Chains A and B, each alone.
Chain A
Amino acid sequence: DADVTQTPRNRITKTGKRIMLECSQTKGHDRMYWYRQDPGLGLRLIYYSFDVKDINKGEISDGYSVSRQAQAKFSLSLESAIPNQTALYFCAIGDPNQNEQFFGPGTRLTVL
Chain B
Amino acid sequence: SQELEQSPQSLIVQEGKNLTINCTSSKTLYGLYWYKQKYGEGLIFLMMLQKGGEEKSHEKITAKLDEKKQQSSLHITASQPSHAGIYLCGADGGQAGTALIFGKGTTLSVSS
Contact = CB atoms under 8 A, between A and B. Distances in A.
Contacts of B102: 35, 42-44
Contacts of B35: 103
A50 B40 CA distance: 27
A96 B50 contact: no
A98 B81 CA distance: 31
A101 B45 contact: yes
A103 B42 contact: yes
B76 interface: no
A92 B88 CA distance: 15
B52 interface: no
Contacts of B99: 33, 45, 48, 58, 94
Contacts of A41: 104
B42 A105 contact: yes
Given A42-B104, A43-B102, A99 B96 contact: yes
Nearest to B95: A96
Interface residues of A, number: 27
B48 A90 contact: no
Contacts of A92: 100
Interface in B34-89: 35, 40-43, 45, 48, 50, 88
A100 interface: yes
Contacts of B96: 94, 96-97, 99
Interface in A5-64: 31, 33, 35, 40-45, 48, 58
A45 B41 CA distance: 18
16 contacts: A31-B97, A40-B104, A43-B100, A43-B102, A48-B99, A58-B99, A94-B96, A96-B95, A97-B96, A99-B31, A101-B33, A101-B45, A102-B45, A103-B35, A103-B42, A106-B42
Interface of B: 31, 33, 35, 40-43, 45, 48, 50, 88, 90, 95-105
